[in-house]
Amino acid sequence: MTKLSVNVNKIAVLRNSRGGDVPNVLKVALDIERFGSEGITVHPRPDARHIRYSDVRDLKAAISTELNIEGNPIESFVDLVLEVKPAQVTLVPDAVDAITSNAGWDTIRNREFLTDICSRFNDAGIRTSIFVDPVVEMVEGAKECGAQRVELYTEAYAAGYAVNREQAIAPYVEAAEAARRVGLGLNAGHDLSLENLTYFAERINWCDEVSIGHALIADALYYGLENTVQLYKRCLAVTR
């Protein structure tokens, strides 16, 4: 079954909006684990506008499921990952001022850089995933860089789902098949939701993990956090 990793960045946004420690990011992450999530994802940025480096350290020390740290591998990020040693690091080419991730890596143009970064993390025993658009050449390039997985950037799928879901999923199926063919593990994330997740999971039922934050936390305002985690896991149950 495809695993669910919940991104807790939005919990940190809410906390930071008032200062103090309400809601407590660590407590929420532990509750999310207890409610059934198989992983916790964080995406610290240099301006610390949501998850802080101190949060990452606290989470690694306390959670029992896999910790996935996403981010642009600038020097401070690389140092944090090598210090914390999460189960997985996901390399994302977001600009310092990006509101959210908005593109995957060009794994061909950036091969030398990504190969060096992957090697450093692999040598430390950290599984390395590269965030890519659903393009076969970018998936194959990630393999050449030494990654163990790719994460497919699913914003385009989510945007096109309501118009023509078969057309929207087609490049993702092709990219996912390429990942399987070259021996890469497969993750997916960005704008996956209760509306579109089941179909994605049905069509790509060999996906290892989905990382979901914004939609899940927004849904929890209506359905409650425990129930919402279970609703997302139910969407993934089609991959059993």
Among candidate residues 50, 140, 190, 209, the one labeled active-site is 190
Among candidate residues 43, 50, 151, 209, the one labeled active-site is 43
Is there a catalytic annotation at residue 190?
Answer: yes
**Are the C-beta atoms of 7 and 46 separated by less than 8 Å?**
no
How many angstroms separate the CA atoms of 210 and 188, rounded? 5
Is there a catalytic annotation at residue 166?
Answer: no
Residues belonging to the chain: 240
Among candidate residues 70, 140, 151, 209, the one labeled active-site is 70
Is there a catalytic annotation at residue 70?
Answer: yes
Catalytically active residues, by annotation: 43, 70, 190
